[in-house]
């Protein structure tokens, strides 16, 4: 297999084969991981320079702490929000990169039907992606733990005198938390169901900036491959998915995806 690697990104013929597949697709599904956020200057959690490498990993039973005492959790969260938070600042300063914009463009062209992202940074929305599942949540949103309703944080003011906040839906009094999925917290079932449904409808699958070794993300490319759907991998490094990918585009998504958009446009224009 040609892995298309050289110092200038993927070879033209590998890119052309990927563009051929994409231009024939009408419901490509993309799984996106931390590599894409990193290209927008967001710190990773693990590895060299990672947030957790520096500070230590959060407790694995983080969600138990929330469930046992949501009021206390909210008090601490509001205290922390007032304190300096370099990671939060790096997230707030981040903007969609050329890869996010290109992925949204592939949706507008009618090629990409859905994006499943592991990132919590909101950058797909800011880039204009419409059909999106954020399996680990979105740091700018809130979620009811009972009915899974979600609201942008700005539309859900939290009263420090009435913690924890409660669901605004009629007939639901569930506790509301930040949408970001905590350690030990189950992925919201609606996100899992949607991701699986979209994957079952995919006529092409793309794995972008993710090593896809962690459940549940890992299962989606494999479901697609088992269905006989071609998998395109876009990543600067080899991953466990490389050997099952039909086409591997070595390079950062911010460089590869815009080239792919250009090549797809050439094929789709009348």
Q: What is the 3-state secondary structure (H, E, C) of 140-191?
A: CEEEECCCCCEEEHHHCCCCCCCCCCECCCCCCCCEEEECCCCCCCCCCHHH
Q: Determine the 3-state secondary structure of 57 from DSSP.
A: coil
Alpha carbon dihedral 6, 7, 8, 12, in 10-degree steps, equals: -10
In the complex, the smallest distance separating the C-beta of residue 167 from Zn ion, rounded to whole angstroms, is 3
| Cβ contact 39:252 at 8 Å | yes
Distance CA 235, CA 5 (A): 10
Active site residue 136: yes
Residues of this chain, 155-214, that bind Zn ion according to CB under 5 A: 167, 169, 172, 174
Residues with Cβ < 8 Å from 98, sequence gap 6 or more?
A: 254, 255, 257, 258
The residue among 45 and 151 lying less far from Zn ion, judged by its C-beta, is 151
* Cα separations in angstroms, 139 against 119, 181, 202: 9, 9, 27
The residue among 125 and 150 lying less far from Zn ion, judged by its C-beta, is 150
In the complex, the smallest distance separating the C-beta of residue 9 from Zn ion, rounded to whole angstroms, is 46
Judged by CB under 5 A, which of 62, 146, 190, 219 binds Zn ion?
146
Place of tokens 């990918």: 245
Distance CA 212, CA 88 (A): 25
**Segment contacting Zn ion by CB under 5 A, of 46-54, 144-152, 202-210, 248-256:** 144-152
Asked if residue 145 binds Zn ion (CB under 5 A), the reply is no
In the complex, the smallest distance separating the C-beta of residue 156 from Zn ion, rounded to whole angstroms, is 12
In the complex, the smallest distance separating the C-beta of residue 157 from Zn ion, rounded to whole angstroms, is 17
The residue among 29 and 144 lying less far from Zn ion, judged by its C-beta, is 144
The residue among 147 and 192 lying less far from Zn ion, judged by its C-beta, is 147
Judged by CB under 5 A, which of 106, 144, 249, 263 binds Zn ion?
144
Please pick, among 100, 114, 124, 136, the residue that the annotation labels catalytic: 136
In the complex, the smallest distance separating the C-beta of residue 65 from Zn ion, rounded to whole angstroms, is 21
Contact footprint for Zn ion (CB under 5 A): 144, 146-147, 149, 167, 169, 172, 174
Question: Annotated active-site positions, please?
Answer: 136
């Amino acid at each position: 297999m040609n892995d298309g690697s050289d110092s200038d990104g993927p070879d033209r013929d590998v890119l052309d084969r990927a563009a051929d597949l994409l231009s024939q697709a009408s419901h490509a599904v993309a799984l996106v991981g931390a590599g894409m956020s990193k290209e927008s200057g967001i710190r990773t959690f693990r590895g060299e320079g990672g947030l957790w490498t520096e500070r230590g990993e959060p407790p694995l039973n983080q969600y138990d702490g929330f469930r046992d005492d949501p009021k206390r959790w909210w008090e601490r969260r509001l205290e922390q929000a007032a304190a300096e938070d370099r990671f939060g600042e790096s997230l707030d300063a981040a903007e969609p990169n050329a890869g996010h914009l290109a992925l949204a463009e592939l949706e507008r062209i009618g090629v990409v039907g859905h994006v499943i992202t592991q990132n919590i940074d909101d950058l797909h929305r800011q880039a204009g992606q419409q059909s999106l599942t954020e399996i680990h949540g979105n740091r700018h949103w809130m979620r009811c733990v009972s009915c899974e309703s979600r609201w942008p944080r700005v539309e859900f003011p939290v009263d420090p005198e009435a913690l924890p906040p409660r669901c605004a839906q009629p007939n639901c009094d569930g506790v509301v938390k930040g949408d970001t999925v905590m350690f030990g917290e189950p992925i919201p079932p609606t996100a899992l169901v949607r991701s699986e449904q979209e994957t079952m409808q995919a006529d092409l699958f793309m794995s972008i900036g993710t090593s896809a070794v962690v459940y549940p993300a890992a299962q989606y490319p494999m479901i697609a491959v088992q269905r006989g759907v071609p998998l395109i991998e876009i990543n600067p490094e080899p991953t466990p998915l490389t050997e099952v990918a039909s086409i591997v585009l070595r390079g950062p998504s911010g460089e590869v995806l815009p080239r792919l958009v250009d090549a797809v446009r050439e094929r789709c224009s009348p």
